[in-house]
Amino acid sequence: MPNRKKVLILCTGNSCRSIIAEALINAELNGISADSSGVKASGKVNPNAKKVLEEAGIWDEKYHSKTLDTVIENDYDLVVTVCDNAKETCPVFPKAVKTLHISFEDPDGKAYEAFQDTLEKIREKLLPIIAKELK
């Protein structure tokens, strides 16, 4: 699909929110593909983030915690920061790209229900905004 729009989801650790958002976008938004990255990537996917995506039937082994330098040269139509720290430390991309900030509470260290809640909030709040921005 040559006209596929690309979005980068950026957070601090790239272990929960951004991975969940990446998987949801790839599974549910036609014509849009997502990557995710962390400004200080943790190097691991939170086990509860993986579990919530498995339960939703959208986990893929390709999802992993990535550092910014692995994606900074990619062409994106949109960059979305999903935590305040990432917004404050969001780098300047080599190519001009539109950026949005939509913050979600970090479920890391909380009960599994917090991950389910995060998935639903991202689905309800973030996906419609991205779909509208990248029409």
Residue 44, helix vs strand vs coil: coil
SS (H, E, C) 48-103: HHHHHHHHCCCCCCCCCCCEHHHCCCCCCCEEEECCHHHHHHCCCCCCCCEEEECC
Cβ proximity of 16 and 107 under 8 Å: yes
Please identify which of the residues 34, 52, 78, 83 carries the catalytic annotation: 83
Alpha carbon distance 113, 16 (integer Å): 13
The answer to whether residue 16 is catalytic is no
Pick the catalytic residue from 8, 10, 11, 45: 11
Structure tokens at 82: 């999903």
Question: Residue 85: which of 17, 6, 23, 134 has the closest Cα?
Answer: 17
Choice among 27, 56, 90, 102 that is catalytic: 90
Question: What are the catalytic residues?
Answer: 11, 83, 90
